[in-house]
Amino acid sequence: MKQIFRNEYFTALVDEGTGIVRNIRGDKPFTSMRDLEVSFEGLIKALDDLGRARHTLLIDIRAAPGRNDPEFEAALQRFRLRWIGGFRKVGVLVQSAVGLLQVKRYAKQDGVTRLVTDDEDELVRYLTQTD
């Protein structure tokens, strides 16, 4: 896998063999909304530069600190569609039932289909399966 982006919050890797782009969220909490914004702007630019249409996106948030305060939710909503838009398929890897419910709520709000699961093998099968 080739690393296309890294900061203290995210790592983005691409596997051209499978076409999967992995966005891995680390365990460091955002220290401010400005840090969140700068982090997402950098990640989104790297994904734009890569080209989304020929890839699928696997978002691994298993290590992410839980957070659902209104300020965070509003900031995340501003970036979510720019983050996940344009990929052939999107899948989210979660660790807990709470994370699963939160991401499913986001999917409903966004109107974007995505598989949300705690099973990495299932997610990879979904992302590599041709329709």
Q: CA Rg, the chain, in Å?
A: 14
What pLDDT sits at residue 127? 97
Task: Give me the pLDDT at residue 73, please.
Answer: 86
Question: For 2-128, which CATH class?
Answer: alpha beta
pTM score: 0.93
The per-residue pLDDT for 61 is 95
Residue-level pLDDT at 70: 87
Are residues 37 and 74 in contact, defined by beta-carbon separation less than 8 angstroms? no
Residues of the chain with pLDDT under 50: none
